[in-house]
Structure 1
Amino acid sequence: MYKGQVSVNDISINVYEYNTVVVGSGAASLNAADALYKLGQKDIALITEGMNRGTSRNTGSDKQTYYKQSTSIKDADSPLKMAQTLFNGGAMHGDIALVEAALSLKGFYKLIDIGVPFPHDTFGQYVGYMTDHDENSRASSVGPLTSKYMTERLEEQVRNNGTDIFDRFLVISILKDESREDAIGILALDIRNINEENYGLSLFNCKNIIYGTGGPASIYYSSVFPKSQSGATGIALEAGAKANNLTEWQYGIASTKFRWNLSGTYQQVIPRYVSTDKDMNDEREFLEDYFENPTDLLNAIFLKGYQWPFDSRKLSNYGSSMIDLLIYMETQIKGRRVFLDFTKNPNCATVDGALDFNLLGKEAYEYLENSNAFLKTPIDRLEKMNPLAIDLYRDNNIDIAKEYLEIDVCAQHQNGGLDGNIWWESNLRHFFPVGEVNGTLGIYRPGGSALNSTQVGSYRAAEYIVNKYSGQALDTEEFVEKTSNQVLKRIELIKKIKIVSDKKSNLIEVQEKLQKEMSKIGAFIRDKENIENGINKFTKAFEEFTDIIYINDLKELPTVFRIYDMIITQIACLSAILEYINKGGDSRGSYLVSKDNGSYEIKIEDKVLKFSLENDFKEKICETVVKANKEIKVSHNWVDVRPIPEYDSWFENAWKEFREKEIYK
């Protein structure tokens, strides 16, 4: 609700007041807003930089998976069994794993009830399939765009509820009561009014914040996050929100012109991998230089369909992750470009223009045989098995039946992120990070568990708020008194930015330089010396931020704040990576730690890469805290993972604790 204007440093700023402000418009934020309303808390607003900009709305894969407790009659499953699977991935708290398992069906069936068409059989059984890091058939899918369907149906609910939506508002600061470390509000830019005397600054006075800004998509240059998604982890860290597992990401092969994961049938049809120089000359099939025989090469390509994320355990014996490493050598070390070619087969296995299927391993041969896909070229096989995969690129002005598809190994998802308890509340009280910005998911996660987490975490936050944090926000005068210094810091930052009206802004140049450095040193190949040098570079960029950038017009302020947020997040992530390496951590999850005394050795031309797999510290979690003012300091604390709770869940006791709201203590 609009409450009028207040003056900060002689600048008039609009003030709005709500019990809860939900930030973001992805699957987590929209579900949070809907859950609050349905549970009875209707004094809420949703703030978004753009309703259609987020990752949930703009991403997918060959068959985008939703992971939940099994609903197939053939599977013996339970919340405890699913929790154990999540927990076994490492560096995940057991109590959170249990919550994500226990509420998985609640979230799944709600999505079905509002119109997300998950498939069921004649008997009403929502059949599933087995995904990676899973032992049951817990996965379901609506096809390549599962999360898009989710956000569309959830948005319908929010709009039907009549919830206030502030579209085209960029959150630039989390405001808090510094005496209590409570989140009490938000400072945002009204992008449509950025050229006004107050820069479009808007204050939201609220009792609670549900923060669903997605993963920090902007920190890497080689990224499969949609370009419209940037994330806002940095300003939450700046406000004092603790993070955990910032080391943990997923990286995999993706197209770069149109950002899309190249898993599943894109690999199982066995396309040709080629590299060129910057001008697309000097074409060569670079995989043949490493693999000793065609069968190993073809099998590695085929297995990329199942084993899409880079996995340091899948490098030895010509494993599928060697392909990721070879692409990295071409793009990051040699500065070349890499493409998939679906019009021809790999040269080493081509006979009269067709694939020699006798060179395939047993698994690949049987898969193509069962799919009736013993056809001449990769594009023929893809047309047979998954024509929608071709249509997807045609819809984005890329015809893979005729042209090469440029690729790289890209950041796809952060498993770590901001810390939260079993109700998804941060150490910063009244602040609830939900969805990918919340780092619940540990090292190895089953495919699709991230979508389940968006629904479970957002519901838990809403339930806790309704039962514990109802009531009104602070009185406006008290709110302004507690936050004016924090608002003033942002105003001072804006005033320091140089505006050069006769010159093109250098924002994108600065941003891309930092992103490229991050992709080279802080993605899935990590070396201690490079990380240390990188931290120094990024720290210098933060401390000299207003000196190294300039803009052409005030309308570029949103980009300024996105880069500011990006740099804080990059420093925090690199610092966590260095902390892990200094502790003695080896390669794990979706990254390789280069070590001179490593147990394993890989030779690629004149390069020798050594690494180990012994010390993965999966029973511990690295927590990270940032203090950012004129200087930035990052500290870390290692904690043991909490086990899965073991207790006698006696109905009468649980009923009593529920009635008396003891469960929220």
Structure 2
Amino acid sequence: MSSDKSQPPASAKQDGFETIPQDILDRLTRVDMPSVKDVPPSEETLQVAGETIPVYRCETLVLGSGAAGMRAAVEAKRRGIDVLVASTGLFAGTSACSGSDKQTLYTASTDYKGDNFLKYAQSLCAGGGMNFSTAYVEAVGSIDAIGGLQFMGLPLPHDDRGAILRYQTDHDEAGRATSCGPRTSKLMVKVLFDEANTLGMRILSSCSGIQIVKEKTETGERVVGVLATHRPEKRNPYGFVFLACQDLVIATGGPGELYRDSVYPHHCHGGLGIALEAGIELTNVTESQFGIGTPRTTFPWNLSGTYVQVMPRVYSVDEDGKEHNFLARYYRTTREMVSNTFRKGYQWPFHSTRMLDYGSSLLDLAVFLEQKAGRKVYLDFLRNPDPVNEGETFSLDDLDPDVRAYLENNEALYELPIDRLKRMNPLAIELYRMHGTDLCKEPLEFAMNNQHMNGGILIDDWGKTSLEGCYSVGEAAGSHGVTRPGGAALNSGQVFGKRVAVAIKRSRLQRQPREADTANVTTALSKALETAASFLDPSNGKTTNEVKSEIQARMSDHAGIICSAAEVSAALAAARKLREEVEADGLRVSSPSLVGSAFRWRHMAMVSEAVLTALDHYIQNGGGSRGARAICDDKGTRCPEAKDEDLSRFRFKEELEKDRVEKLVVKRVGDRFPISSLPVDLTPEVTREFFEKGWGPYLIKEG
């Protein structure tokens, strides 16, 4: 219990959270999305192997309808480019369905003295694996990105002088984060769709790309279209359509289905598999983010920010229903335990070094071990934390100075966690109430989950991939480095959404449109039809559910936050065997309408092998622990400690400096996934372009 002097006066409880009208809470959590008119069925068709394949033509095809893809589509449409958006499910991906307490958009700050783009860029690439030039592009572009969103109607909070309100987020010492609340990215999607409707955007919903179709050129290969499944399509048994394009933007998000313990919405397969199959290079796929969140079996959501900054009671329940104050086995004092629970708010992702010195990721390890022991873990907002030692009590007067100051500054020194949460973030409560859990009445189950792929498709500073005419934006793109500040991914998707539109428009001024070779397209579609038919053979190999279960269990159990060289090598061998079996024996589905799922899980088998190949290469070449994982080794130089637990089995290798200045690249060549590396350029060479000198070239490039 805290002392009386820590309590706000009774009158303070009459303002703040209690005065926010319900309709405002509803507007920011129960977001009404715009209606979207689907593209009418195409009258153009191809006859392939006796089947009718409808053809949809466009100049630029955008796969994915999240915040990054829709920004690319809107910016391209504004530039007079004929755009078609193909979406597996409107408002069903991570942008529309994922978030946290106050989901973060990380941009250059207008607060107080403003920002320095060089320092901003340095913070983005500080963890390694990211070129300074890419970081600088995202820093400078953030101003236009956020301004465009505000113009389209994104309700970012600001003070009466116009400065956007800011706070501190993960890997962020400058306080560049801002938010519309837990549904920030969904609100971004909403305003972008409103703009798309205004522009008359063509959108093909219930449409999933399953194969990139290419043709040879004088200099290599170029994309000419995408074979996709379109759920409403009945002119062939599989719902196949061909989306012919001059340029392709892959904006399909991350591989959420790769892990069993995941905070992604269901059915998020991402675009790495379709890229690998097309021979496109991936990078940094060893780098992910893991952190605490509610399980995927309920309502998957990140538990960062105020969810933990209010310091709820953390406990686990065993199979007999007995409750355990398990964190008391790890932290030495109540103050140390609750202060590090608080720090999970802005140190949310697991990081190996934060397991040391009784830091905030020791909590992650403790939760991970409770899960391994078969216990369920909960946050209880109705009670303060249990003490660590006999004779101690939780007190708001006995907190680390940074924790106490934060609560004071937010006037949140209330008696119970639920009241502290109501004061600081009533939207966080409203969100879970909307999904069936009332934090004012019941505890909240949580777990350690995979949350974000920081790697992905290798792109340059214009979003171009290694395949001519193909671009990538958002989480599908591997541009985020090792340890990005929280919310930087949302900004990256907006910045690169505009940049790929600019790059596509410029490329059109330099080349003539070319028609795809119909014979080449027909051959590709014919092979796809053969593969689709094979999925219906009852004598074929594994079912998609069997492949899904095997991949997800292997990745969660052997490629999560705790890894070892032996386990990763064994996992790689098993993943390679599975992929070879899938390609040799096929997959099995029960109806033609499910062949799209078979294509996607064949892709996921490739993605799993590619990720494990890169991770195994990294470890075998001396790679140590960093953002995503602790690489455990008996000869490791660092070891976490706990009050009453022997953690010597988690002794880990430190990250090598050389690994911070290179990016691992993986692609599919034949039957293998060779690894190469690219040097990271951290040279901060930013030169001033004088107006009169740069104006002419700009006008020529923009046409």
Q: TM-score, normalised by structure 1?
A: 0.92
Q: Does 1:492 align with 2:530?
A: yes
Other-structure match for 1:364: 403
Indicate how the Cα distance of structure 1 residues 302 and 72 shifts in structure 2: closer, same or farther if over 3 A, else same: closer
Other-structure match for 2:92: 53
TM-fit CA distance, 1:3: 6.1
Which of residues 465, 475, 485 in structure 2 aligns to 1:426? 465
Other-structure match for 1:415: 454
Which of residues 666, 672, 676 in structure 2 aligns to 1:633? 672
Q: Secondary structure at the match of 1:611?
A: coil
Aligned 8 A contact 2:350 2:364 in 1:
yes
Which of residues 578, 581, 586 in structure 2 aligns to 1:541? 578
Q: Secondary structure at the match of 2:279?
A: coil
Q: Secondary structure at the match of 2:315?
A: strand
CA deviation vs aligned residue, 1:174-193 (integer Å, no higher than 9, x gap): 11114532111100001123
Indicate how the Cα distance of structure 1 residues 183 and 334 shifts in structure 2: closer, same or farther if over 3 A, else same: same
Other-structure match for 1:298: 338
Q: Secondary structure at the match of 1:174?
A: strand
In 2, Cα distance between equivalents of 1:351 and 1:395: 39
Other-structure match for 1:177: 215
Aligned 8 A contact 1:22 1:46 in 2:
yes
In 1, Cα distance between equivalents of 2:53 and 2:122: 50
In 2, Cα distance between equivalents of 1:274 and 1:325: 14
Indicate how the Cα distance of structure 1 residues 372 and 657 shifts in structure 2: closer, same or farther if over 3 A, else same: closer
- For these two proteins, the number of residue pairs brought into alignment is 650
Other-structure match for 2:664: 622
Aligned 8 A contact 1:117 1:142 in 2:
yes
In 2, Cα distance between equivalents of 1:172 and 1:89: 34
Q: Secondary structure at the match of 1:560?
A: helix
Which of residues 288, 293, 299 in structure 2 aligns to 1:258? 299
Q: How does 1:79-90 map to 2 (within 5 A)?
A: 79-90=117-128
Indicate how the Cα distance of structure 1 residues 652 and 80 shifts in structure 2: closer, same or farther if over 3 A, else same: farther
Indicate how the Cα distance of structure 1 residues 281 and 137 shifts in structure 2: closer, same or farther if over 3 A, else same: closer
Q: Which moved more, 1:144-153 or 1:128-137?
A: 128-137
Other-structure match for 2:567: 530
Indicate how the Cα distance of structure 1 residues 499 and 623 shifts in structure 2: closer, same or farther if over 3 A, else same: same
Q: Which moved more, 1:283-292 or 1:24-33?
A: 283-292
In 1, Cα distance between equivalents of 2:202 and 2:184: 26
Aligned 8 A contact 1:19 1:206 in 2:
yes
In 1, Cα distance between equivalents of 2:592 and 2:328: 52
Other-structure match for 2:427: 388
Indicate how the Cα distance of structure 1 residues 472 and 554 shifts in structure 2: closer, same or farther if over 3 A, else same: farther
TM-fit CA distance, 1:506: 4.8
Other-structure match for 1:512: 549
Q: Does 1:187 align with 2:224?
A: no
TM-fit CA distance, 1:528: 1.3
Other-structure match for 1:15: 55
Which of residues 589, 593, 617 in structure 1 aligns to 2:627? 589
Other-structure match for 1:562: 600
Q: Secondary structure at the match of 1:637?
A: strand
Aligned 8 A contact 1:62 1:265 in 2:
yes
Give the AA of the match of 1:136.
A
Give the AA of the match of 2:530.
E
TM-fit CA distance, 1:264: 1.3
CA deviation vs aligned residue, 1:348-387 (integer Å, no higher than 9, x gap): 2699998433443333334344544444433233233322
In 2, Cα distance between equivalents of 1:207 and 1:377: 59
Q: Secondary structure at the match of 2:517?
A: helix
Q: Secondary structure at the match of 1:148?
A: helix
Indicate how the Cα distance of structure 1 residues 532 and 464 shifts in structure 2: closer, same or farther if over 3 A, else same: same
Q: Does 1:208 align with 2:247?
A: yes
Could you say what the CA RMSD is over the residues aligned between the two structures, in angstroms?
Answer: 2.5
Q: Secondary structure at the match of 2:62?
A: strand
Q: Secondary structure at the match of 1:339?
A: strand
Indicate how the Cα distance of structure 1 residues 459 and 369 shifts in structure 2: closer, same or farther if over 3 A, else same: closer
CA deviation vs aligned residue, 1:391-436 (integer Å, no higher than 9, x gap): 1111001123333322111111111110111111111010001111
Aligned 8 A contact 2:100 2:301 in 1:
yes
> Identical aligned pairs, as a percentage?
35
Give the AA of the match of 1:339.
Y
Other-structure match for 1:286: 326
Other-structure match for 1:468: 507
Indicate how the Cα distance of structure 1 residues 352 and 540 shifts in structure 2: closer, same or farther if over 3 A, else same: same
Stretches of structure 1 lacking an aligned partner (at least 5 in a row) = none
Q: Which moved more, 1:252-261 or 1:513-522?
A: 513-522
Q: Which moved more, 1:172-181 or 1:373-382?
A: 373-382
In 2, Cα distance between equivalents of 1:532 and 1:498: 33
In 1, Cα distance between equivalents of 2:210 and 2:163: 46
Which of residues 221, 233, 237 in structure 1 aligns to 2:276? 237
Other-structure match for 1:317: 357
In 2, Cα distance between equivalents of 1:159 and 1:500: 44
Q: Secondary structure at the match of 1:347?
A: coil
